[in-house]
Amino acid sequence: MSEKKKFYITTPIYYPSDKLHIGHAYCTVATDAMARYKRLCGYDVMFLTGTDEHGQKIEDKAKAAGVSPKEYVDNIVEGPQGVKDLWKLMNISNDRFIRTTDDYHVAAIQKIFKKMYEKGDIYKGKYVGKYCKPCESFWTESQLVDGKCPDCGREVQDAEEEAYFFRLSKYADRVQDLLENTDFLEPRSRVNEMVNNFIKPGLEDLCVSRTSFQWGVPVDFDPGHVVYVWIDALFNYTTALGFMNDKYDDFKKYWPADVHFIGKEIVRFHSIIWPAMLMSMEMPLPKKVFGHGWLLLDGGKMSKSKGNVVDPYLLAQRYGVDSLRYFLLREFPFGTDGNFSNETLIGRINTDLANDLGNLVSRTTAMVGKYFGNNLPAGCGATEDEKDLANMLAQSRGSVDLAANFPEDDPRKFDVELIALAAGLRNTYEDKMEQYAFQDALMEVFKLIGRANKYIDENKPWALAKDEAQQDRLAHVLYNLLECVRISAVLLTPFMPETCEKIFAQIGAGDSQRTWESAAVWGALSTDAQVSKGENLFPRIDAAKELEELAALEEAAKAEAAAKAEPEYITIDDFAKVKFVTAKVLACEAVKKSKKLLRFTLDCGEGQTRQILSGIHEYYEPEDLVGKTVVACVNLAPRKMMGLESNGMLISAVKEGAEGHEELHLLMLDDKVPAGCTLG
């Protein structure tokens, strides 16, 4: 017996610095669909995912939470609604899960680091540059964009430390050749970006150790240094198979990986640094790196720190895991960015799943029940001619206008059209899947689903049912519909595994009728299959009501995120820019035609009076404020209100309510405090 072909596929390993969101689920669902598809095709698949648990960001977060870094990551990886829980919920079929804090991985990374050091590809030097803490990335001045991190656009810090370097420059030509002259990196548009932005300006050696924090894999021959988190992370793809460790023994079997699925912002690490390190280690390179796009929300990337994440738990609970999986891979082309919105999610579920697929299955099974008591009569299945036709089309990958051979009123022309589409489907689907074009593959399947729904209307089974002479025809029409449902369900299995199981049960498809081979065979379903109309697969969603509820939930989540948000610190220099002084109110009057504004004449100890307008008339009567000692910001740029110039701002204590200020108190000091004192 010939050995099964191998397929090794990976997701990025996720940072457990916060709970994961739907953007993270996107890549994992895509990888899962691909892994399931390859298993369906008969491959021996290894599907790896995991978590990337070291680095300064995690160390800082743990500190802020008052726990050890390991406790912190344990909770996010293994805890309730953690990473593992989420993958279980999303029905992710990974064969292995690596945590970079696993002992075997840590020991292997130490060996790998040492090997590159002994080879001379890692050497000791001094790092002077810029560091982006959230991205854990070091940058040179020339790589910054407007002085900020080129990946995330945030502020960077000066950094200088004794460090080890990897001779990335040595591999620049080989990496450029790999990118430009092979299909290593896809989509191809990402190749230019890598070559022009990173390789052509000159690849500098990469800083690969840190001394400024401890939470990482220690460099065992130089205490105080920890291995750069990206070396630690990238080699997970090999250590999880047993490379340089005894925990597993699959490295020979599965390496090199067939494809690494990753998000576009980490293409640089996977298409430049990763192959260069593998070259240094003299290891075979992965066959492909595919950089998918981002799910955007309001045009920006989802991120917990922006408070704009979409909770996969909430969506899966409301709409079902399979609907969510389907939506993610059907709505957006895999290689480009896509805007997530509740409207598109609900719209997609209602049109494709409830109207098209759900209806086809429920109408078909209901009619078999109603007209034939759930069992079609023997002999209603595919004719030899139909089987031959399907067979020929499945082999040829061509499209033929067969309907043209039948007279206008011959219903068999509908049959051949339907069969032709169904017979060719597996091939077109396969072509799309092999290019990771999930959206296109799904669209192909839904062409058949749409055609089958049309076939119902063309044949009007309810009319055939009334005519005794048309019973055979009726049974044949329903059989054809069941076959379309079956073939569609086989090909949808990688995307919606649970739903397809239910569909197979409803149409009475046995194991041999759920296989990849059977998807190219017309007439595989036996005519004595026990059909049973089951539960409604995709209940229609009341979009208006649902959107309102989701909006309310989002508001609540945003408010919660804002309350928990980390403060955005300013520097002492920023603070020193604002000049607060004490002031005596010499005069105060209402501004004509304004309900809110009061005009203050103030002594700020400047040798002349200062005029400031303040919108606090709802809270104070002007005469009550004369003689009071207040606080003013005096270096705010002057501005005009109701034609009068205001030179600064009076400081108030404000309690915000739902529709503005709930309470406001002008900050007043003891009258003993003289005018013109600075505050700070």
Q: Which residues bind ligand ME8 (CB under 6 A)?
A: 12-15, 23-24, 26-27, 52, 233-234, 236, 262-263, 265-266, 294-295, 301-302
Cα–Cα distance between 233 and 211 in angstroms, integer? Answer: 18
Nearer to ligand ME8, 231 or 449 (CB): 231
Q: What is the DSSP string of 470-505?
A: GHHHHHHHHHHHHHHHHHHHHHHTTT-HHHHHHHHH
The smaller minimum CB distance to ligand ME8, of residues 233 and 394, is found at 233
Give min distance, CB of 505 to ligand ME8, in A: 34
Structure tokens at 70: 């390991």
Q: Which residues contact 497 (CB under 8 A, 6 or more apart)?
A: 36, 91, 93, 322
Q: CA-CA distance, 237 to 255, in Å (whole number)?
A: 9
Which DSSP state fits 258?
S
Q: Say which residues have a Cβ less than 8 Å from residue 112's Cβ, sequence separation at least 6.
A: 231, 235, 244, 281
196: which 2 tokens?
């022009």
Taking the complex as a whole, the smallest distance from the CB of residue 171 to ligand ME8 amounts, in Å, to 18
Q: Give me the amino acid identity at 286.
A: P
Choice between 112 and 484, CB closer to ligand ME8: 112
Alpha-carbon span 408 to 403, nearest angstrom: 9
**Residues 489, 492, 495, 498, Cα dihedral to 10°:** 0
Residue with smaller CB distance to ligand ME8, 40 or 273: 273
Closer by beta carbon to ligand ME8, 77 or else 207: 77
Nearer to ligand ME8, 275 or 358 (CB): 275
Distance in Å, CB of 333 to ligand ME8, minimum: 13
Cβ 242 to ligand ME8 shortest distance, Å = 18
Q: For the CA atoms of 281, 284, 287, 293, what is the dihedral angle to 10 degrees?
A: -10
Closest residue to ligand ME8, Cβ-based? 263
The smaller minimum CB distance to ligand ME8, of residues 240 and 604, is found at: 240
Q: Among residues 302 and 425, whose Cβ is nearest to ligand ME8?
A: 302
The position carrying tokens 């030899």 is: 384
User: In the bound complex, what is the minimum distance in angstroms from residue 233's beta carbon to ligand ME8?
Assistant: 4
Nearest to 634 by CA among 602, 664, 666: 602
Which of these, 180, 135, 177, lies nearest to 156 by C-alpha position?
135
Q: Which is nearer to ligand ME8, 184 or 455 (CB)?
A: 184
Shortest distance, CB of residue 292 to ligand ME8, whole angstroms?
Answer: 7
Q: Which of 523, 241, 554, 229 is nearest to 389 (CA)?
A: 523
Q: Angle 321-331/22-40 helices, nearest 10 degrees?
A: 90
Choose between 55 and 358: whose C-beta lies nearer to ligand ME8: 55
Q: How far is the CB of 294 from ligand ME8 (least distance, A)?
A: 4
The helix/strand/coil state of 458 is: helix
Per-position b or e across 165-178, b if 16+ CB within 10 A of its CB = bbbbeebbeebbeb
Please say which residue, 52 or 483, places its beta carbon nearer to ligand ME8.
Answer: 52
> Considering beta carbons, is residue 21 or 426 the nearer one to ligand ME8?
21
Rounded Cα distance, 526 and 341, in Å: 43
Instruction: State the minimum distance, in angstroms, from the CB of residue 254 to ligand ME8.
Output: 17
Please state the closest distance from residue 111 (CB atom) to ligand ME8, in A.
Answer: 18
216 within 8 A of 321, measured Cβ to Cβ: no
Q: Considering the complex, what minimum distance in angstroms separates the CB of residue 517 from ligand ME8?
A: 34
Query: Which lies closer to ligand ME8 via its Cβ, residue 35 or residue 529?
Result: 35
Query: In whole angstroms, how close is the CB of 557 to ligand ME8 at the nearest point?
Result: 16
User: In whole angstroms, what separates CA 443 from the centre of its chain?
Assistant: 21
To ligand ME8, the closest distance from the beta carbon of 154 in angstroms equals: 14
Which residue, among 552, 633, 569, has the nearest Cα to 155 in the 3D structure? 569
Evaluate whether 597 touches 609 at the Cβ level (below 8 Å): no
Smallest distance, Å, CB 270 to ligand ME8?
7
> Considering the complex, what minimum distance in angstroms separates the CB of residue 15 from ligand ME8?
4
SS3 assignment, position 614: strand
What is the CA angle 460-465-467, rounded to 5?
A: 105
**Both tokens assigned to 157:** 């810090």
Q: Measured between alpha carbons, how far is 38 from 8 in angstroms, rounded to an integer?
A: 10
**What's the sign of the alpha-carbon dihedral 406, 409, 412, 418?**
positive
DSSP, res 291: E
Helix (H), strand (E) at residue 44: strand 44-51
| Radius of gyration for the chain, computed over Cα atoms and rounded to the nearest angstrom | 33
Nearer to ligand ME8, 22 or 418 (CB): 22
